[in-house]
Amino acid sequence: MCAARLVEAGHEVVVVDDLSTGHADAIPDGCKFIQADIAAAASGLLAESFEGVLHFAAKSLVGESMQDPQKYWQGNVVTSLRLLDAMREHGTRRLVFSSTAATYGEPAVTPITEDTATRPTNTYGATKLAIDHAITSYADAHGIGAVSLRYFNVAGAHGAFGERHTVETHLIPIVLQVALGQREQVQIFGEDWPTADGTCIRDYIHVTDLADAHLLALANAAPGRHRIYNLGNGTGFSVRQVIDTCRKVTGHPIPANVAPRRAGDPATLVASSQRAREELGWAPERADLEVIVRDAWDFTRLRQES
Ligand code: UDP
Protein backbone atom coordinates (compact mmCIF):
# COMPACT_ATOMS: atom_id res chain seq x y z
CA MET A 1 0.00 0.00 0.00
CA CYS A 2 2.72 2.44 1.02
CA ALA A 3 4.93 1.26 -1.85
CA ALA A 4 2.07 1.98 -4.25
CA ARG A 5 1.69 5.50 -2.81
CA LEU A 6 5.46 6.10 -3.14
CA VAL A 7 5.41 5.00 -6.79
CA GLU A 8 2.40 7.26 -7.45
CA ALA A 9 4.36 10.13 -5.89
CA GLY A 10 7.20 9.55 -8.36
CA HIS A 11 9.70 7.74 -6.12
CA GLU A 12 11.86 4.87 -7.31
CA VAL A 13 10.99 2.04 -4.92
CA VAL A 14 12.81 -1.17 -4.01
CA VAL A 15 10.79 -3.57 -1.87
CA VAL A 16 12.74 -6.03 0.29
CA ASP A 17 10.75 -8.84 1.88
CA ASP A 18 11.59 -12.40 2.82
CA LEU A 19 7.89 -13.25 2.27
CA SER A 20 7.78 -15.10 5.60
CA THR A 21 4.39 -13.49 6.19
CA GLY A 22 4.04 -11.15 3.19
CA HIS A 23 2.62 -11.89 -0.26
CA ALA A 24 4.47 -11.42 -3.55
CA ASP A 25 1.24 -10.43 -5.32
CA ALA A 26 0.82 -7.50 -2.92
CA ILE A 27 3.91 -5.78 -4.34
CA PRO A 28 2.63 -3.02 -6.59
CA ASP A 29 3.64 -2.52 -10.20
CA GLY A 30 6.52 -0.16 -10.72
CA CYS A 31 8.64 -1.44 -7.80
CA LYS A 32 11.79 -3.49 -7.95
CA PHE A 33 11.45 -6.51 -5.66
CA ILE A 34 14.20 -8.33 -3.83
CA GLN A 35 13.30 -11.41 -1.83
CA ALA A 36 15.76 -11.40 1.04
CA ASP A 37 16.24 -11.27 4.79
CA ILE A 38 16.91 -7.64 5.67
CA ALA A 39 19.59 -8.44 8.23
CA ALA A 40 21.60 -10.26 5.55
CA ALA A 41 20.84 -7.94 2.65
CA ALA A 42 20.84 -4.43 4.17
CA SER A 43 24.49 -3.57 3.78
CA GLY A 44 24.76 -4.76 0.19
CA LEU A 45 21.53 -3.04 -0.77
CA LEU A 46 22.21 0.33 0.78
CA ALA A 47 25.58 0.51 -0.99
CA GLU A 48 23.49 1.84 -3.90
CA SER A 49 22.44 5.30 -2.88
CA PHE A 50 18.96 5.57 -1.40
CA GLU A 51 17.12 8.67 -0.25
CA GLY A 52 15.64 6.79 2.66
CA VAL A 53 14.37 3.59 4.21
CA LEU A 54 10.83 2.78 5.31
CA HIS A 55 11.21 -0.07 7.77
CA PHE A 56 8.00 -2.09 8.16
CA ALA A 57 9.38 -5.61 8.54
CA ALA A 58 8.65 -7.23 11.88
CA LYS A 59 7.33 -10.17 13.77
CA SER A 60 4.07 -8.77 15.13
CA LEU A 61 1.96 -11.34 16.97
CA VAL A 62 1.61 -10.51 20.65
CA GLY A 63 0.80 -14.06 21.79
CA GLU A 64 3.66 -15.59 19.84
CA SER A 65 6.05 -12.96 21.22
CA MET A 66 5.34 -14.20 24.75
CA GLN A 67 5.89 -17.85 23.84
CA ASP A 68 8.90 -17.42 21.57
CA PRO A 69 10.70 -14.21 22.62
CA GLN A 70 13.91 -15.16 20.83
CA LYS A 71 12.09 -14.86 17.50
CA TYR A 72 11.14 -11.27 18.43
CA TRP A 73 14.40 -10.04 19.95
CA GLN A 74 16.32 -11.58 17.08
CA GLY A 75 13.84 -10.89 14.27
CA ASN A 76 12.89 -7.37 15.33
CA VAL A 77 15.75 -5.88 17.36
CA VAL A 78 18.82 -7.58 15.88
CA THR A 79 17.51 -7.16 12.33
CA SER A 80 16.79 -3.48 12.90
CA LEU A 81 20.27 -2.91 14.35
CA ARG A 82 21.77 -4.43 11.21
CA LEU A 83 19.67 -2.07 9.13
CA LEU A 84 20.71 0.95 11.22
CA ASP A 85 24.36 -0.09 10.89
CA ALA A 86 23.99 -0.38 7.13
CA MET A 87 22.40 3.08 7.01
CA ARG A 88 25.30 4.49 9.05
CA GLU A 89 27.85 2.69 6.90
CA HIS A 90 26.45 4.03 3.62
CA GLY A 91 25.22 7.42 4.83
CA THR A 92 21.50 6.79 4.17
CA ARG A 93 19.84 9.95 5.47
CA ARG A 94 16.22 9.16 6.27
CA LEU A 95 14.32 6.47 8.15
CA VAL A 96 10.61 5.93 8.76
CA PHE A 97 9.94 3.15 11.24
CA SER A 98 6.72 1.24 12.00
CA SER A 99 6.39 1.52 15.76
CA THR A 100 3.25 0.60 17.67
CA ALA A 101 0.74 1.54 20.36
CA ALA A 102 1.98 -1.62 22.13
CA THR A 103 5.03 0.41 23.28
CA TYR A 104 2.72 2.20 25.76
CA GLY A 105 1.30 -0.91 27.43
CA GLU A 106 -1.79 -0.09 29.50
CA PRO A 107 -1.68 3.64 30.19
CA ALA A 108 -4.24 5.08 32.57
CA VAL A 109 -4.57 8.21 30.42
CA THR A 110 -6.74 8.57 27.35
CA PRO A 111 -6.12 9.72 24.69
CA ILE A 112 -2.49 8.59 24.60
CA THR A 113 0.05 11.23 23.60
CA GLU A 114 3.68 10.66 22.64
CA ASP A 115 4.64 11.87 26.14
CA THR A 116 2.70 9.07 27.83
CA ALA A 117 5.03 6.69 29.68
CA THR A 118 6.09 3.64 27.66
CA ARG A 119 5.58 0.46 29.68
CA PRO A 120 4.98 -2.37 27.20
CA THR A 121 3.14 -5.36 28.60
CA ASN A 122 4.33 -7.86 26.01
CA THR A 123 7.54 -8.86 24.25
CA TYR A 124 6.36 -7.54 20.90
CA GLY A 125 5.91 -4.02 22.33
CA ALA A 126 9.20 -4.27 24.26
CA THR A 127 11.15 -5.09 21.08
CA LYS A 128 9.56 -2.21 19.17
CA LEU A 129 10.36 0.18 22.02
CA ALA A 130 13.97 -1.08 22.11
CA ILE A 131 14.26 -0.29 18.39
CA ASP A 132 12.83 3.19 18.98
CA HIS A 133 15.55 3.77 21.58
CA ALA A 134 18.24 2.55 19.19
CA ILE A 135 16.91 4.85 16.46
CA THR A 136 17.11 7.85 18.83
CA SER A 137 20.79 7.07 19.51
CA TYR A 138 21.70 6.52 15.86
CA ALA A 139 19.86 9.65 14.73
CA ASP A 140 21.67 11.69 17.35
CA ALA A 141 25.13 10.25 16.79
CA HIS A 142 25.08 9.75 13.02
CA GLY A 143 22.82 12.51 11.75
CA ILE A 144 20.06 10.22 10.49
CA GLY A 145 16.66 11.91 10.11
CA ALA A 146 14.22 9.45 11.69
CA VAL A 147 10.49 9.24 12.28
CA SER A 148 8.69 6.49 14.22
CA LEU A 149 5.00 6.11 13.55
CA ARG A 150 3.10 4.43 16.37
CA TYR A 151 0.18 2.69 14.72
CA PHE A 152 -3.02 2.09 16.62
CA ASN A 153 -5.50 -0.41 15.07
CA VAL A 154 -4.86 -0.43 11.33
CA ALA A 155 -7.85 -1.56 9.29
CA GLY A 156 -9.67 -0.91 6.02
CA ALA A 157 -8.23 -1.71 2.59
CA HIS A 158 -7.51 -0.09 -0.73
CA GLY A 159 -8.58 -2.07 -3.78
CA ALA A 160 -6.45 -5.22 -3.84
CA PHE A 161 -4.42 -4.15 -0.79
CA GLY A 162 -5.86 -5.37 2.48
CA GLU A 163 -5.27 -7.64 5.46
CA ARG A 164 -4.33 -11.23 4.63
CA HIS A 165 -2.93 -13.31 7.46
CA THR A 166 -2.55 -17.07 7.40
CA VAL A 167 -3.87 -17.18 10.94
CA GLU A 168 -6.23 -14.26 11.36
CA THR A 169 -6.35 -12.69 14.83
CA HIS A 170 -7.64 -9.17 14.10
CA LEU A 171 -11.17 -8.20 14.94
CA ILE A 172 -12.50 -6.66 11.71
CA PRO A 173 -11.24 -9.40 9.32
CA ILE A 174 -12.59 -12.06 11.70
CA VAL A 175 -16.01 -10.42 11.88
CA LEU A 176 -16.09 -10.14 8.08
CA GLN A 177 -15.21 -13.83 7.77
CA VAL A 178 -18.38 -14.55 9.75
CA ALA A 179 -20.35 -12.36 7.33
CA LEU A 180 -18.88 -14.34 4.43
CA GLY A 181 -19.85 -17.63 6.04
CA GLN A 182 -16.26 -18.73 6.62
CA ARG A 183 -16.75 -18.74 10.40
CA GLU A 184 -19.83 -19.54 12.46
CA GLN A 185 -19.53 -16.65 14.90
CA VAL A 186 -17.22 -14.09 16.42
CA GLN A 187 -16.01 -14.39 19.96
CA ILE A 188 -16.02 -11.23 22.06
CA PHE A 189 -13.01 -11.41 24.34
CA GLY A 190 -14.61 -10.26 27.60
CA GLU A 191 -17.54 -7.98 28.42
CA ASP A 192 -16.48 -7.14 31.95
CA TRP A 193 -13.99 -4.42 31.02
CA PRO A 194 -14.31 -0.96 32.60
CA THR A 195 -15.91 0.56 29.48
CA ALA A 196 -19.46 1.73 28.66
CA ASP A 197 -20.62 -1.59 27.15
CA GLY A 198 -18.01 -3.76 28.89
CA THR A 199 -16.02 -4.59 25.74
CA CYS A 200 -12.57 -3.29 24.81
CA ILE A 201 -12.18 0.04 23.05
CA ARG A 202 -9.71 0.62 20.21
CA ASP A 203 -8.87 3.42 17.78
CA TYR A 204 -9.19 2.15 14.19
CA ILE A 205 -7.21 3.88 11.45
CA HIS A 206 -7.60 3.39 7.71
CA VAL A 207 -4.58 1.93 5.91
CA THR A 208 -4.63 4.67 3.25
CA ASP A 209 -4.44 7.37 5.94
CA LEU A 210 -1.58 5.42 7.48
CA ALA A 211 0.20 5.26 4.12
CA ASP A 212 -0.21 9.03 3.65
CA ALA A 213 1.45 9.59 7.04
CA HIS A 214 4.51 7.63 5.85
CA LEU A 215 5.02 9.89 2.85
CA LEU A 216 4.69 12.97 5.05
CA ALA A 217 7.12 11.44 7.58
CA LEU A 218 9.68 10.72 4.87
CA ALA A 219 9.47 14.30 3.62
CA ASN A 220 9.70 15.74 7.14
CA ALA A 221 12.58 13.65 8.49
CA ALA A 222 15.24 16.13 9.61
CA PRO A 223 18.93 15.22 10.03
CA GLY A 224 19.95 14.21 13.55
CA ARG A 225 16.39 14.20 14.84
CA HIS A 226 14.10 11.31 15.84
CA ARG A 227 10.43 12.28 16.06
CA ILE A 228 7.69 9.95 17.25
CA TYR A 229 4.04 10.28 16.18
CA ASN A 230 0.93 8.39 17.25
CA LEU A 231 -1.41 7.50 14.40
CA GLY A 232 -5.06 7.01 15.19
CA ASN A 233 -8.28 8.93 14.71
CA GLY A 234 -8.73 9.92 18.33
CA THR A 235 -12.07 8.11 18.59
CA GLY A 236 -12.49 4.77 20.30
CA PHE A 237 -14.94 2.06 19.27
CA SER A 238 -15.89 -0.91 21.43
CA VAL A 239 -15.82 -4.49 20.12
CA ARG A 240 -19.63 -4.44 20.15
CA GLN A 241 -19.72 -1.19 18.16
CA VAL A 242 -17.36 -2.70 15.58
CA ILE A 243 -19.54 -5.80 15.23
CA ASP A 244 -22.68 -3.62 14.90
CA THR A 245 -21.01 -1.54 12.18
CA CYS A 246 -20.07 -4.75 10.33
CA ARG A 247 -23.70 -5.92 10.58
CA LYS A 248 -24.87 -2.63 9.09
CA VAL A 249 -22.31 -2.64 6.26
CA THR A 250 -22.67 -6.33 5.31
CA GLY A 251 -26.37 -6.83 6.05
CA HIS A 252 -25.43 -10.10 7.75
CA PRO A 253 -26.63 -10.91 11.32
CA ILE A 254 -23.08 -11.88 12.45
CA PRO A 255 -23.64 -14.09 15.50
CA ALA A 256 -21.40 -13.20 18.43
CA ASN A 257 -20.78 -14.86 21.77
CA VAL A 258 -18.87 -13.75 24.82
CA ALA A 259 -15.63 -15.55 25.56
CA PRO A 260 -13.03 -15.01 28.31
CA ARG A 261 -10.69 -12.03 28.15
CA ARG A 262 -7.61 -12.41 25.94
CA ALA A 263 -4.37 -12.25 27.93
CA GLY A 264 -2.50 -8.97 27.58
CA ASP A 265 -5.42 -6.92 26.20
CA PRO A 266 -5.68 -3.38 27.62
CA ALA A 267 -9.25 -2.12 28.13
CA THR A 268 -8.94 1.12 26.14
CA LEU A 269 -6.39 2.37 23.60
CA VAL A 270 -7.15 5.68 21.92
CA ALA A 271 -4.53 7.89 20.28
CA SER A 272 -4.01 11.58 20.35
CA SER A 273 -2.55 12.33 16.91
CA GLN A 274 -2.36 16.03 17.55
CA ARG A 275 1.39 16.06 17.03
CA ALA A 276 1.17 14.33 13.63
CA ARG A 277 -1.52 16.76 12.55
CA GLU A 278 0.45 19.79 13.68
CA GLU A 279 3.98 18.82 12.65
CA LEU A 280 3.39 16.60 9.61
CA GLY A 281 0.19 18.25 8.40
CA TRP A 282 -1.47 14.83 8.53
CA ALA A 283 -5.25 14.88 8.09
CA PRO A 284 -6.94 11.49 7.92
CA GLU A 285 -9.60 11.31 5.20
CA ARG A 286 -11.20 7.96 6.01
CA ALA A 287 -11.74 8.25 9.75
CA ASP A 288 -15.36 7.07 9.71
CA LEU A 289 -15.60 3.48 11.03
CA GLU A 290 -18.31 2.66 8.47
CA VAL A 291 -15.98 3.70 5.63
CA ILE A 292 -13.14 1.64 7.12
CA VAL A 293 -15.38 -1.45 7.41
CA ARG A 294 -16.89 -0.94 3.94
CA ASP A 295 -13.45 -0.84 2.31
CA ALA A 296 -12.38 -3.95 4.23
CA TRP A 297 -15.62 -5.68 3.19
CA ASP A 298 -15.10 -4.81 -0.51
CA PHE A 299 -11.57 -6.23 -0.27
CA THR A 300 -12.77 -9.40 1.49
CA ARG A 301 -15.33 -10.09 -1.23
CA LEU A 302 -12.82 -9.33 -3.98
CA ARG A 303 -10.44 -11.91 -2.49
CA GLN A 304 -13.16 -14.50 -2.29
CA GLU A 305 -14.04 -14.05 -5.95
CA SER A 306 -10.44 -14.26 -7.15
N1 UDP B 1 -11.19 -9.11 19.71
C2 UDP B 1 -12.31 -9.88 20.01
N3 UDP B 1 -12.50 -11.02 19.27
C4 UDP B 1 -11.66 -11.43 18.27
C5 UDP B 1 -10.52 -10.61 17.97
C6 UDP B 1 -10.33 -9.46 18.72
O7 UDP B 1 -13.08 -9.56 20.90
O8 UDP B 1 -11.89 -12.48 17.67
C9 UDP B 1 -10.97 -7.87 20.46
C10 UDP B 1 -9.63 -7.81 21.18
O11 UDP B 1 -9.73 -8.35 22.46
C12 UDP B 1 -9.35 -6.29 21.20
C13 UDP B 1 -10.04 -5.78 19.94
O14 UDP B 1 -10.95 -6.80 19.55
O15 UDP B 1 -9.96 -5.72 22.32
C16 UDP B 1 -9.08 -5.52 18.81
O17 UDP B 1 -8.25 -6.67 18.67
P18 UDP B 1 -7.25 -6.86 17.46
O19 UDP B 1 -6.60 -8.21 17.63
O20 UDP B 1 -7.95 -6.59 16.18
O21 UDP B 1 -6.19 -5.70 17.65
P22 UDP B 1 -5.25 -5.32 18.93
O23 UDP B 1 -5.99 -4.22 19.64
O24 UDP B 1 -5.03 -6.53 19.74
O25 UDP B 1 -4.01 -4.83 18.27
**In the beta sheet, which residues pair with residue 32?**
14
pLDDT value, residue 305: 76
Instruction: Tell me the residue range of the domain where 195 lies.
Output: 1-305
What residues are in contact with ligand 1 under a 6 Å CB criterion? 153, 169-171, 174, 186-189, 200, 202, 239, 262, 265
Report the C-alpha gap between 305 and 49 in whole angstroms.
41
Task: Quickly state the pLDDT bin for 108 (edges 50, 70, 90).
Answer: confident
Mean pLDDT of 141-161: 95
- Strand, helix or coil for residue 55: strand
- H/E element holding 189? strand 186-189
pLDDT value, residue 40: 94
CA of 298 to the centre of ligand 1 (A): 21
pLDDT value, residue 106: 87
Q: What is the pLDDT of residues 19-77, one digit of tens each?
A: 999 999 899 999 999 999 999 999 999 999 899 999 999 999 888 999 999 999 999 99
Name the residue of 184, 187, 239 to mutate for ligand 1: max ligand atoms within 8 A of Cβ: 239
Report the C-alpha gap between 45 and 87 in whole angstroms.
10
Of the candidate ranges 28-37, 164-173, 243-252, the one whose mean pLDDT is the lowest: 164-173
Percent of the chain with pLDDT over 90: 88
- Does the global pTM surpass 0.85? yes
pLDDT value, residue 147: 98
Mean pLDDT of 257-273: 92
Residue 264 has pLDDT above 80, yes or no: no
pLDDT value, residue 160: 82
pLDDT value, residue 31: 96
- Ligand 1 atom with the smallest distance to the CA of 172 is 20
CA of 76 to the centre of ligand 1 (A): 22
Task: Find the CATH number of the domain harbouring 258.
Answer: 3.40.50.720
Domain total of the chain = 1
Active site residue ranges: 124
Going across the sheet that includes 52-55, the strands are: 52-55, 94-100, 145-151, 226-231
Mean pLDDT of 273-291: 97
Instruction: Give per-residue burial for 271-303: e unless 16+ CB within 10 Å, then b.
Output: bbbebbeeebebebebbebeebbbbbbbbbeee
- Ligand 1 atom with the smallest distance to the CA of 190 is 7
Residue 202 has pLDDT above 90, yes or no: yes
Q: Which residues contact 57 (CB under 8 A, 6 or more apart)?
A: 16, 17, 18, 38, 79
CA of 65 to the centre of ligand 1 (A): 16
Name the residue of 175, 189, 270 to mutate for ligand 1: max ligand atoms within 8 A of Cβ: 189
Name the residue of 62, 104, 152, 170 to mutate for ligand 1: max ligand atoms within 8 A of Cβ: 170
